[in-house]
Amino acid sequence: MKVAPDALPSTRAQRLRERLIAQPPSVCHERAVIVTDVYAWLTGELPPILLRAHTLAAVLDGMSIFIGPDELIVGNQASRPRAAPLFPEYSWEWILEELDSLPERAADRYAVPPETRNALLQILPQWRGKSFRDRAVRALPEDVLKAHHSLLFLLTSLGCGVGHLAPDYARVLGRGLEGIAEEARARLAALDLTDPSALRMRDFWQAAVVVAEAAIRFAHRFAELAERLAGAEDSGERRLELFEIARICRNVPARPAETFHEALQAFWFIHLIIQIEANGHSISPGRFDQFMA
């Protein structure tokens, strides 16, 4: 059976795929270190939703970023391609237990660089009794825990975010995060704080502003990196691509997407940041065909 030429991957896509596959999977400690530091400073100082918002902001501001050769859509979850970030605020014991076996186990091996191993050995014990799993296990009745350990049912969300949602990507593409942050500030200003129920909404809208502004800064970091790379690029074609990446990352997701390329980049930033925040399973693109039209 012949395949239509235009249905085959481009040479650029093939190069990207080959580079990705050639990179061995590894563990990245950056997120875990940043989160541990933020929780040490702010736990007990902020409502949980604002603690999570400021934690995400710190990760987006502090994590390493990169733009690889041939990339036109940018944004990374960890410090290296195919590296796995860690989420000790959800669960940490399993990481400590499996740390030395990860590079040698029979399947799904992950390299653990020495600096990563040392960092994790230092920070993971700090989560003892403080992680989400630790708190949940203390709160659950004994019969529920027995049923869980007997595999009658599984408490699958003890080690990560709940996930299983379809975010409103269309709102970001159509309004931009600046518009969403402006709406959040307006909602804050309209709250009647003499109503006790308004306090929770105050925390929510404040968190929305923190996260929106952090996501915009994250995109701007890629714009600045693209400009630096363009200045050192010998290929005129790639230099133009990098300048275009910089332009796009300054526009989205802060403002409404104006081109298909901008919409793809805005979608990817939002999808990526949700994963960076909580590592939930099954974050659905939703009706991608409709909101990208």
C-alpha separations of 54 from 19, 252, 291 in Å: 34, 21, 29
- The pLDDT value recorded for residue 74 is 99
DSSP string of 55-82?
HHHHHHHHS-----TT-SS---SSSSTT
Q: Could you tell me the residue ranges of all domains in the chain?
A: 21-128+160-291
**Bridge partners of residue 83, in order along the sequence:** 26
Phi first, then psi: give them for residue 83, nearest 5 degrees: -95, 145
- Quote the DSSP letter at residue 133: H
Give the 3-state DSSP-derived string for 164-203, with helices as H, strands as E and coil as C: CECCCHHHHHHHHHHHHHHHHHHHHHHCCCCCCCHHHHHH
CB 266 within 8 A of CB 172: yes
How far apart, in whole angstroms, are the C-alpha atoms of residue 130 and residue 53?
Answer: 18
On the question of pLDDT at 1 being above 70, the answer is: no
Res 155: pLDDT: 85
Closest CA to 180 of 252, 277, 110: 252
The stretch 77-94 carries a mean pLDDT of 97
Q: Which residue would you say has higher pLDDT here, 161 or 127?
A: 127
| Site of tokens 């702010």 | 42
Q: For 48-79, give one letter per residue: b (16+ CB within 10 A) or e.
A: ebbbbbbbbbbbbeebeeebeeebeebbbbbb
- Which tens digit of pLDDT belongs to each residue from 191-237? 999 999 999 999 999 999 999 999 999 999 999 999 999 999 999 99
